């Protein structure tokens, strides 16, 4: 396990190290006490005056509220944080601590009670502290001084920072407007990450996609002035278990000739959220030196409108040799993923995982915070669900229901890219992807949203790399890292 602290580069700016501190930090730190009910007053080392202060403030230790407790000299003596008896199944004290990171005054704090998993608490603190400031004028986008958490001696600051950095990277990529993050810029981010970890990276760009047999990636991206590409990152020893991540990198989605209404385009900068999640997870894997042979494939394109755009009714041949009738140009994500999955499948990976902001139907079924998980591997599904719930990155298994395969039938091609039924849109999209995976030992697809509609303890409104931490926890456990 590495012991050095991660180096910094322009991919990660600012550093999560500004909100997390090592155990031996020399400055005096302020204690945080977890309160579950009114009994916290008796169980916490407070003076009579401080107890009177809490009573006067009406603080009862419930409702995700916190209380600043003064010392006799007017300085800050401690923080009481009330979590009560939450209804949210993920509302462990460690996870709720994320909300304090942006709510407390600048200073150094430590966990004094009520926390069993200090590393998870540190991750939650770091995720809750995230803010996207690239376009903020004040201080040149540099964040103001923040509350900093000092981790206890039994927690690895390195591991915590590796996870938080990965998530911050992914969030930064999703939050960046498409005008500043096209296929080339997404490749640039992947190259910076590869250089940092000593990974190999290559790309296939523009017309070369046709020459190298990635016709569906080319078809989706050919109408844009910014050429489509397939980004291919590799890392790790060649004979280690093979883990391949595929992330949808549609940097902006107009819907193509089946154009989206304006309201549906407002968040389409996030349509590369699958790529962001894959890169976030890749950073966690490489920073923690998991003993795997990692491969990350990102089909990156813009789904634009021009005279050479692919059309409804066109038939496109895939890398796998199957032909696809285009029933809707706004179902472009599954097309680029299919070519990337076919490539990934050719080397028979032990684990193949795809991340994609793929369907609105997934949001109708499970909402924005709970991504559907599709896999035929029961053990993998159970491990992902358990890990996700534990670390506050939940997933929910949905069925790869073969009875719906016929919904993808086409009278003129091997398949259609959409069903003409209004039902089971997320399931049929997952079934479409599964058709391009034949050799992988296990395959999972995550239909993520890539966005948080409102602030939560683990982050502000905005970008989120759903399911990346859940998958990492499973891979870490399988490789024997605790």
The answer to whether residue 456 is catalytic is no
Among 80, 49, 89, 45, which residue's Cα sits nearest to residue 62? 80
Question: pLDDT band at 42, cuts 50/70/90?
Answer: confident
**Predicted local distance difference test score (pLDDT) of residue 139:** 65
Q: What b/e string do you get for 64-100 counting C-beta neighbours within 10 Å, with b at 16 or more?
A: ebbbebeeeeeeebbbbbbbbebeeebbbbbbbbbbb
- pLDDT reading at 6 higher than 90: no
The answer to whether residue 317 is catalytic is no
Average pLDDT of the residues of the chain: 93
**pLDDT per position as a tens digit, 9-27:** 455 556 888 899 887 777 7
d(CA 398, CA 303): 28
**Predicted local distance difference test score (pLDDT) of residue 99:** 93
The one-character DSSP state at 463 is E
Q: Where are the domains of the chain?
A: 16-155, 160-478
**Predicted local distance difference test score (pLDDT) of residue 136:** 83
Q: Assess whether the region 16-155 and the region 160-478 belong to the same CATH fold.
A: no
The one-character DSSP state at 456 is B
**Predicted local distance difference test score (pLDDT) of residue 14:** 64
Annotated active-site residue in 260, 317, 322, 479: 260
Annotated active-site residue in 65, 92, 334, 452: 334
d(CA 174, CA 216): 23
**Predicted local distance difference test score (pLDDT) of residue 7:** 40
Element (H, E) at 252: strand 249-253
Q: 16-155, what's its fold?
A: 3.40.220
Q: Which two tokens stand for residue 143?
A: 């964040």
Q: What percent of the chain has pLDDT over 70?
A: 95
**Predicted local distance difference test score (pLDDT) of residue 13:** 56
- pLDDT reading at 37 higher than 90: no
CA 277 centroid distance within chain: 4
pTM of the model: 0.95
d(CA 246, CA 344): 8
d(CA 270, CA 276): 9
- The CATH number of 160-478, from 3.40.50.300, 1.10.3720.10, 3.40.630.10, 3.40.1190.20, is 3.40.630.10
Tell me the mean pLDDT in the region 244-271.
97
Tell me the mean pLDDT in the region 428-456.
98
**Predicted local distance difference test score (pLDDT) of residue 88:** 73
Q: Where are the beta strands (DSSP E) in 29-144?
A: 30-35, 65-70, 76-82, 107-111
The residues pairing with 373 across neighbouring beta strands, listed in sequence order, are 397, 446
Checking DSSP bridges between strand 415-416 and strand 323-325, what pairing results, if any? parallel
């Amino acid at each position: 396990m590495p012991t050095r602290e991660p180096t910094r580069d322009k991919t990660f700016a600012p550093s999560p190290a500004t909100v997390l501190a090592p155990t031996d930090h020399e400055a005096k730190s302020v204690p945080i006490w977890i309160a579950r009910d009114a009994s916290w007053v008796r169980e916490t080392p407070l003076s009579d005056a401080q107890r009177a202060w809490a009573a006067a403030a009406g603080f009862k230790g419930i409702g995700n509220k916190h209380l600043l407790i003064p010392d006799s000299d007017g300085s800050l003596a401690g923080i009481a944080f009330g979590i009560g008896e939450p209804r949210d199944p993920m509302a462990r004290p460690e996870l709720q601590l994320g909300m304090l990171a942006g709510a407390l005054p600048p200073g150094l704090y430590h966990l004094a009670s009520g926390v069993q998993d200090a590393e998870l608490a540190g991750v939650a603190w770091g995720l809750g502290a995230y803010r996207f400031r690239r376009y903020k004028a004040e201080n040149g986008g540099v964040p103001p001084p923040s509350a900093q958490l000092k981790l206890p001696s039994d927690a690895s600051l390195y591991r915590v920072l590796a996870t938080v950095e990965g998530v911050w990277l992914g969030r930064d990529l999703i939050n960046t407007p498409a005008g500043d993050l096209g296929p080339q810029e997404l490749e640039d981010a992947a190259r910076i990450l590869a250089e940092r970890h000593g990974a190999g990276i290559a790309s296939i760009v523009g017309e070369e996609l046709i020459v190298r047999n990635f016709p569906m990636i080319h078809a989706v991206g050919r109408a844009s002035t910014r050429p489509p590409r397939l980004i291919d990152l590799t890392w790790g020893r060649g004979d280690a278990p093979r883990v391949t991540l595929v992330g949808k990198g549609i940097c902006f989605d107009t819907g193509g000739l089946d154009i989206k209404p304006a309201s549906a385009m407002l968040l389409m900068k996030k349509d590369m959220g699958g790529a962001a999640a894959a890169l976030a997870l890749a950073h966690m894997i490489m920073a923690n030196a998991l003993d795997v042979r990692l491969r990350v494939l990102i089909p990156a394109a813009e789904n634009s409108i021009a005279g050479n755009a692919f059309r409804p009714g066109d038939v496109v041949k895939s890398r796998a040799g199957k032909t696809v009738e285009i029933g809707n140009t706004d179902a472009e994500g599954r097309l680029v993923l299919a070519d990337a999955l076919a490539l990934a499948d050719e080397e028979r990976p032990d684990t193949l995982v795809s991340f994609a902001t793929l369907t609105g139907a997934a949001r109708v079924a499970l909402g924005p915070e709970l991504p559907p998980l599709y896999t035929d591997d029961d053990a993998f599904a159970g491990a992902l669900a358990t890990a996700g719930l534990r670390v506050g990155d939940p997933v929910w298994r949905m069925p790869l229901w073969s009875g719906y395969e016929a919904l993808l039938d086409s009278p003129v091609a091997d398949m259609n890219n959409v069903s003409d039924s209004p039902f089971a849109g997320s399931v049929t999209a997952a079934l479409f992807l599964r058709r391009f995976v034949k050799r992988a030992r296990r395959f999972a697809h995550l239909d993520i949203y890539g966005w948080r509609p409102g602030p939560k303890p683990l982050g502000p409104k905005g970008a989120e790399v759903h399911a990346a931490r859940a998958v990492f926890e499973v891979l870490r456990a399988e490789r024997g890292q605790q």
